[in-house]
Amino acid sequence: MLQFSLELQTRNETLFNFGAICLLFALLFLALTRFTTTKVYNVNAWYKPFKFALSTFFYSWAMAWYCYYLPSFNVVWFNYSVIILLGFEIIYIAIQANKGQLSHYNLSTPIYATLYSLMAIAASIVTLYTAYVGVLFFVNEFPELPIYYVWSIRFGMIIFVVFSFQGFLMGSKLTHTIGGPDGGPGIPILNWSTKFGDPRIAHFIGMHALQVLPFLSFYVFKSTLATMLLTLIYALLATLTLTQALKGKPFRKASGL
């Protein structure tokens, strides 16, 4: 891990530093869950900024690593777009957590409604920028990289984009629970519903294809065919969890857990 971190820092110091700051904030937010009792939807309010900060850490470091391979790519524009847009999301979510207020789905005042819309715009821009990076991985050749690794990055970005935009499904309904109210029983920390359908599960699985598929392809499978089969299984898993959620069924029931 130390060697990876040092290499990443030389590849993209800006996103490396931003990711490291996000990780520190994630740890801070997690610590705050032990020292505060403020709740939103019956769970500690600081779990949400913790999850967003940690997810942004993984995204920033993954994209810093991948963008290094691209020829003639304006990485400075990408870096600061990610920092400004995702940084805004984390700060706003943390502010709302401190108030014990919703960040997402909050239309209670014109200001909150505007800020919620701005978060959706910020997430959309980052997703579209990621899609553009994915296109560049298709139109360019990378003779210095194993072809199975290149395909894993391509597939990871496709699944990421699809399931990132799946977030609009929850946004359009102003809820992350289908078949029941938000705030019911859920698994620890992630708080995914154990009683009703929860599209956040598919959202989580799909978006982290960005890290999981390249990691497994490069270090474990080392085969184009295996990478394609892995991608198919992974995409089916994300689709299954989304289908179950849309039916109002919890993932535990679907998976037999």
Number of domains in the chain: 1
Would the CA dihedral through 171, 173, 175, 176 be positive or negative? negative
Residues 80-126: tens digit of each pLDDT? 999 999 999 999 999 999 999 999 999 999 999 999 999 999 999 99
Region of residue 150 (left: phi > 0; alpha: psi -120 to 50; beta: else): alpha
- DSSP lists the bridge partners of residue 43 as 40
SS3 (DSSP) at 11: helix
Domain of 32 in residue numbering reads as: 2-255
In angstroms, the CA 218 to CA 43 distance is 38
Q: Which amino acid is at 174?
A: L
Residue 60: pLDDT band (50, 70, 90) is very high
In angstroms, the CA 194 to CA 121 distance is 30
Q: How many CB atoms lie within 10 A of CB 107?
A: 12
Looking at residue 172, what is its pLDDT?
Answer: 86
Average pLDDT value for the chain: 94
- Quote the pTM value: 0.95
Q: How many CB atoms lie within 10 A of CB 29?
A: 24
What's the DSSP call for residue 166?
Answer: T
